[in-house]
Amino acid sequence: MTEISSAPLAAQAASPAPAHRGRALRRAVRSMVDSRWALVGMIILVIVTLVAIFGPALAPFDPNRQNILMRLVEPGSPGRGDSVYWLGSDHLGRDVLSRLLYGARVSLLVGVAAIAVGGTIGTIAGLVAGYFGGWIDDVIMRLGDIQLAFPFILLAIMFLVVLGPGLVNMILVLGIGQWITYARIVRAQTLSLREKEYVEAARAMGDRTLSILFRTILPNIMAPLTVIASFNVASVILSEAALSFLGLGVPPDVPTWGSMLSESRDHLLSNKWWLAVFPGLAIVLTVLAFNIIGDWLRDFLDPRLTRDN
């Protein structure tokens, strides 16, 4: 690590030459193991991802199958045959564990897809604004200011009420809600990078603008983008849960953690605690994992941005 000085460190970590790639990976793993929290976060994340992928195979019940005879049974209650309601059942007799496992899909999918949408729009807007400057920069940044004038969740509510609930609408609204975060960071980085020698060299060698933007500048700003994206997935998952809770999420036949919590409210007074506790814990653990990874990534990719200063 000694041969790398502080400034290009971020760039090196983000786009290492093939020979360095193995070394960078080893360094990442060692750093992750060293900061135990990051390892915990990573393990949670891997589990949630596996659950999202293999949920249908793991789920003991069909998440939508209603069973009037098994309504609101406590965690650990035996079902028919060998089956057990490990986390209890809800007011329609649906298995909470199965719904929880399926719910992981929506949370992760929405989180990652919304960031992909917002990140792509924001990165392109930021590159263009920072590289060209002038009126185009003004227009893009003022648009961002206007959007930031709305508390985000209110903006999402306003659009989702009109568009109606649905997975694609949710991803688009949450994604578009995030673009300005990326645009601002990319713009600031591009502004400083465009004066660097290697960008000037690329220009002097006759590289086309597109190539300069995406091949010369973009790889060098991936580090801060990765950090922001990690925190952002966490906040998007929280927003998705809140919107599902308000009844603006995906259609009711798709189980989500937010909508499970929304349904649990009707059974609070009768002390059906498992309906509220487990979906909430699932959200907290997933969001916590992304936040921890984000913290670690920030320290790892860019030591200048460490939490302490």
Partner 1 sequence: MWTFLARRLMQSIVVIIGVTLISFISLQIGGDPTYLFVSENASTEEIQRTREALGFDRPLHIQYLDYVWNVLQGDFGNSLSYGQPAMGVVLEAMPATIELTLFSLVLAIALSIPLGIYAALKRGRPADGGIMTFAMLGQSIPNFWMGIMMIMFFGLYLQWFPISGHVPFLEPLFAGEFRTAFANLPQSIHYMIMPALAVGTYTLARNARLVRSSMLEVLQQDYVRTARSKGISERRVILHHAMRNAWLPVVTMIGLEFGFLLGGVVVVETVFSYPGIGRLVFNAINQRDIPVVQASVILLAVIFIFLNLIVDLVYARLDPRVKL
Q: Give the residues lining the site for partner 1 (CB under 8 A).
A: 142-143, 145-147, 149-155, 157-159, 161-164, 234, 238, 241-242, 245-248, 258, 261, 264-265, 268-269, 271, 273, 276-277, 280, 283-284, 287-288, 291-292, 295, 307-309
Nearer to partner 1, 181 or 190 (CB): 181
Residue pair 251/165 in contact (Cβ under 8 Å)? The answer is: yes
Please compute Rg for the chain using Cα positions.
Answer: 23
3-class SS at 78? strand
Q: How many CB atoms lie within 10 A of CB 113?
A: 18
Q: Smallest gap, in angstroms, from Cβ of residue 8 to partner 1? A: 25
Q: Which helix (H) or strand (E) holds 77?
A: strand 77-78
Least distance in Å: CB of 226 to partner 1?
19
Residue 289 C-beta: closest distance to partner 1, Å: 9
Closest CA to 218 of 195, 197, 187: 187
Nearer to partner 1 among residue 24 and residue 109 (C-beta):
109
CB 296 within 8 A of CB 271: no
* Identity of residue 217: I
Q: Which is nearer to partner 1, 40 or 191 (CB)?
A: 40
**At 84, phi and psi to the nearest 5?**
-130, 135
From the CB of 60, what's the least distance to partner 1, in Å? 25
Q: Which residue, 221 or 233, is less far from partner 1 as judged by CB?
A: 233
- Least gap, CB of 242 to partner 1 (angstroms): 5
Q: How far is the CB of 155 from partner 1 (least distance, A)?
A: 7
**Distance between the two ends of the chain, CA-based, in angstroms?**
22
Q: Please return the burial class of 19, using the count of CB atoms within 10 Å of its CB with bins 0-12, 13-18 and 19+.
A: exposed
Distance CA 275, CA 288 (A): 21
Identity of the residue, 169 or 189, whose beta carbon is nearer to partner 1 in the bound complex: 169
Nearer to partner 1, 255 or 258 (CB): 258
